[in-house]
Amino acid sequence: MSEAPLAVAMRGIVKRFPGVLANDHVDFDLRAGEIHALLGENGAGKSTLMSVLSGLYKPEAGSILVRGRPVSFNSPRDAIAHGLGMIHQHFMLVQSQSVTENILLGLDEPRFFMRLAEYDRRVAQLAQRFGLTVAPQAKIWQLSVGEQQRVEILKMLYRGVQVLIMDEPTAVLAPQEIEGLFTTLRAMVAEGKSIVFISHKLNEVMAVADRVTVLRQGRVTAAGLPAAQTTIPELARLMVGRTVLFDLHKREQPPGEVVLELDKVSAVNNKGQLALRNFTLQVRAGEIVGIAGVAGNGQSELAEVITGLRRATSGRVLVHAADVTRASVRSVIAQGVSHVPEDRTHVGSAPNLSITDNVIMKRYRAAPLAQGWSLNGAAARKQAEALKAEYQILAPTVATQARTLSGGNLQRVILARELSAGPKLLIAVQPTRGLDVGAIEGVQRLLLAQREAGAAILLISEELEEIFALSDRIAVIYEGEVAGEMTEHDTDAIGLLMTGGGRAPAPAAPPPAA
């Protein structure tokens, strides 16, 4: 059987940034009608290479051929005109506009009259066709992260792209949604479209990809491997250059005193709708309590209420018996609470500030960083350098702007700031979302180290494997309520609770340590 013709060929691509060689003479082939996975550690050059292909960056050297013809892109618009579109890991949407308005933004049609009702119907039909249902009239700021991802996919489909580049497309989807996306991708490939699937989830790559290319430190370590002829451990080794241990060996330990108590907490979301309903839960010192649930069931609001970013409408939030229900963020931090937020770019960091500024945000008022009303710059840089080394933040210097970092390195900056504070309570929301297998292992080990140090950890994750690997107890959230608590790793039972199919009685709280 002859091979399918090449939809895209990249030859000798070189792309540099100040202090970083992101792509070092990279070759990449994409065949018509295939799903080609692109793997690599954070900072390996995957997103950079695909940003070159999608017209966002201009390479310093190399060539691109689309359907056998050489092309040169000056913008993403040029790439889309040639049938290539990219969905980025960090969304590029206008928050104040509707779904339809975002999809139409930048198009030549409509030109003078919007006729929104007509275009709303077109968007709804396209969404239904590919199983990406989202309300066309909804404003972007009102949507969950998963719904915003669907809008990005619809933008490309509406423009008729033949080559779709997807940067971590499942990172914002619940387990129940991922198979639906795979069904959509397979249907697109059956129509002759080609997919570049950038992911860190090796089991998903093995399930959906036809071929795999691996990058490490800007170079290709494996080109176009047939997915059926390789294994997950081998792909992990090619990605990180070493054998990755998938067993975390969590140490058994009894929980201590109650650190966090949520007593019948209710809160509304950004749409003014009830997001949390009488939510009741305890988290003890030295234990990890995992919150499992489908995206949009109140997880974000739960984290925000605990950390002071959102006001509860009723109920109480207690940290070490101190009532912080209506406390400011600064007061909550003073109680020893650290927060690794879901949105690492807009909430977890200040993108335009340096690594130094980002890691000292919670300490700049105290010595040795504070000198009266001024900041001791030398002490701040010294502390940032130490954290950069300890948390293995890959960047030229601590003066590097946070917005230039890869997702994994930005997460390391946030973890360095939050964990170095020695928290009594850690709220970790999607802490490994969008990270590669090596970075995930590192983050999970950091969380277990905090547990062993006696911190109480509330882990909010849509990755059931992560919940199972790290949690001592699991609480399932459904429509803002605790649907059930359990210690068993019963995927079927938890999946049923996550979709509202049943309720489980909450077990007695574990006894405190003697």
pLDDT digits (tens, 9 = 90+) for 229-267: 999 888 888 887 766 555 677 888 999 999 999 999 999
pLDDT band at 194 (very low <50, low <70, confident <90, very high): very high
For residues 221 and 364, membership in a common domain is answered with no
For residues 168 and 85, membership in a common domain is answered with yes
Q: What pLDDT digit, counting tens, does each position of 283-302 carry?
A: 999 999 999 987 778 999 99
For residues 282 and 393, membership in a common domain is answered with no
Domain-ending residue, one of 206, 240, 274:
240
As for how many domains the chain has, the answer is 3
Q: What pLDDT digit, counting tens, does each position of 307-325 carry?
A: 999 999 999 999 999 999 9
User: Measured between alpha carbons, how far is 375 from 369 in angstroms, rounded to an integer?
Assistant: 6
Q: What pLDDT digit, counting tens, does each position of 459-490 carry?
A: 998 878 889 989 999 999 999 999 999 888 88
pTM greater than 0.75 (yes/no): no
For residues 302 and 437, membership in a common domain is answered with yes
User: Measured between alpha carbons, how far is 382 from 394 in angstroms, rounded to an integer?
Assistant: 17
Question: Which residues in 223-257 are b (16+ Cβ under 10 Å) and which e?
Answer: ebbebeebeeeebbbbbbeeebeeeeebeeeebee
- Rounded to 5 degrees, φ, ψ at 165 are -100, 125
Domain-ending residue, one of 240, 268, 301:
240
For residues 413 and 433, membership in a common domain is answered with no
- Quick check: 158 pLDDT over 60? yes
Q: What percent of the chain has pLDDT over 70?
A: 93
Interval 52-62 mean pLDDT: 94
- Quick check: 1 pLDDT over 50? no
For residues 412 and 324, membership in a common domain is answered with no
- Nearest Cα to 462, choosing from 181, 171, 208? 171
User: Measured between alpha carbons, how far is 484 from 496 in angstroms, rounded to an integer?
Assistant: 10
- Quick check: 132 pLDDT over 60? yes
For residues 228 and 313, membership in a common domain is answered with no
Domain-ending residue, one of 394, 421, 448:
421
- Helix pair 377-390, 407-419: axis angle to 10 deg: 110
For residue 245, being part of any structural domain is answered with no
For residues 310 and 164, membership in a common domain is answered with no
Domain that holds residue 407: 350-421
State the CATH number of the domain containing residue 450: 3.40.50.300
Which pLDDT score, from 0 to 100, does residue 366 have? 77
For residues 121 and 132, membership in a common domain is answered with yes
For residues 415 and 432, membership in a common domain is answered with no
For residues 44 and 185, membership in a common domain is answered with yes
- Nearest Cα to 475, choosing from 342, 467, 300, 424? 467
